[in-house]
Amino acid sequence: MPESLLGIGAKATELEDSDKMLIKELTEEFSSYFGVDPKPIYESRFTKIVPISHRPYAKMYTDD
């Protein structure tokens, strides 16, 4: 994902195995409601977006 599409204070990272497992579980549940195959969904490419720090906007609103 291009950084230009991310907001200030955010960065894109690779998914961890736990993220992939959560996506698989949630798409399987979602798909069961609609009777569709979950595999094309959970095998799609996902991007994890996380804050760059625990206080990504601190410098915008404080004198820190």
**pLDDT one-digit tens code per residue, 7-27:** 788 899 999 999 999 999 999
| Domains in the chain: boundaries | 3-53
High-pLDDT (> 90) share of the chain, %: 59
Amino acid in position 5: L
Length of the chain: 64
Nearest to 29 by CA among 15, 21, 46: 21
Rounded to whole angstroms, the Cα distance separating 52 from 60 reads 14
Per-residue pLDDT band for 58 (boundaries 50, 70, 90) equals low
Q: Which helix (H) or strand (E) holds 14?
A: none
Rounded to whole angstroms, the Cα distance separating 10 from 43 reads 24
- pTM score of the predicted model: 0.69
- Residue range 22-34: average pLDDT? 97
The pLDDT of residue 53 is 72
